[in-house]
Amino acid sequence: MKPLEDIRIIAVEQYGAGPYGTLHLADLGAEVIKVEDPRFGGDVGRYVPPFQDGEDSLFFETFNRNKKSISLDISMPAGRAVFEDLVEVADVVYSNLRGDVPAKLRIKYDDLKHLNPAIVCVSVSGFGMDGPRANEPGYDYILQGLTGWMSLTGEPDGPPTKSGLSLVDFSGGLVAASSLLAGVHQARRDGVGMDCDVSLYDTALSLLTYLGTWHLTGGWDPQRMSRSAHPSLVPFQLFKGADDEWFVVGCAKEKFYHRVCDVIGRPDLATEERFADFAARFANSSELIGILDAAFAEKPSTEWVDALKAVGVPTGPVQDVAGAMADPHTAARELVVETEHPEFGTVTSLASPVRVGDRINGHRRAPQRNEHADEVLGELLGYEEERIAELAGEGAFGS
């Protein structure tokens, strides 16, 4: 039995942040029933190019493995009736909508507690349900700009830069999953559910971590660092070998710096006053980096990586996506998942990094829209064919 097989989630979700959060829960066995609005063709992620065909895409497949789907227009009274029946047999109502929309759709705890006092209502939004930005749409790119991320990324003389990945969305999804599990635990203990108000803004701001503390407490003004350098530890950044290939060296401990000095044949640098400790190296970073650049330019990067790894210095090459996928460690950690799809054939995607006990196998592809209508309506809710036909005639499942 998978760890979360006893949790049922009704997910009014779409695109990236919301579905990414429930993806990990579905992989762990939670029953995630996607409620897709037929007026808009379901989850907008179904239509994201470049690998898109009809009502499906590899983008959608990435975030919706192991889930179920039903088309339901909860703006219609008939659709709302079905939704409320689902709430009665669910543990969670999960959504990722603009912060003011859950109240408008009446999917907050106070709207649903009469149906199920233990229901947990998780909202993932750009800015949360309150505050001056609550009714603004929040996308990863916008949030990376607002919360300081872009000001910290890129070269000092270049423009503010977005991370290459939608890390605010993905981090927000993981925060939502954590909030959901805590909410379910409390609801089962106390018999009373609640709202879980997860904000991507909150998530992004909290991920400033020590830089936020340094600024708030010490007045630190973080700046973009050349070659992705650490803001205070030196050397901890990109270097280039004689082959013009980049690699990372990270001296997070004094012993690592001493070993770097030995590997490049400059043990004197470890005791020289200008570079003798973290503070001295930070104060004289330009001089030290210039010396290291000259040393590393004498041999190919692969030789330096091998030599540094041999003495335990944290180091590694800068790989492209293809290199990361082909890395032997990727295979050893079983990070690739295969599912079969009627249009795309074998879909190869990345496994959830969440590990609980033994490896979980036997994944299902993402659902086609409304694929599980018979199961949800007939088996779960016990509707007779006449009732389903009546609801359809009243617009519950779209026109």
Instruction: Kindly report whether the peptide bond that precedes residue 235 is cis, defined as omega within 30 degrees of 0.
Output: yes
Cα dihedral 349, 350, 351, 352 sign = negative
Kindly list the distances between the CA atom of residue 298 and the CA atoms of 226, 228, 315, 316, 368, in Å, as whole numbers in the listed order: 21, 22, 17, 18, 56
Q: In angstroms, rounded to a whole number, what is the distance separating the alpha carbons of residues 233 and 253?
A: 9
Is position 363 annotated as part of the catalytic site?
A: no
242-276 per-residue burial string, b: 16 or more CB within 10 A, e: under 16: eeeeebbbbbeeeebbbbbbebbeeeebbeeeebe
Instruction: Give the Cβ contact number of residue 27 at 10 Å.
Output: 22
* Active-site residue identified among 114, 185, 215, 230: 230
Number of Cβ within 10 Å of residue 394's Cβ equals: 14
The separation between the first and the last C-alpha atoms of the chain, rounded to the nearest angstrom, is 39
Q: Which of 94, 119, 114 is nearest to 105 (CA)?
A: 94
What is the Cα–Cα distance from 347 to 60, expressed in whole angstroms? 11
Please calculate the CA angle 57-164-321 and round it to the nearest 5 degrees: 70
CA nearest to 68, candidates 290, 304, 277, 368: 368
> Which pairs count as long-range contacts for 261-267, CB under 8 Å and 24+ apart, including other chains?
262/311, 263/304, 263/307, 263/308, 263/311, 263/313, 264/292, 264/295, 264/296, 265/295, 266/291, 266/295
* Region of 396 on the Ramachandran plot (φ > 0 left; ψ -120 to 50 alpha; else beta): alpha
Hey, which residues are catalytic here? 230
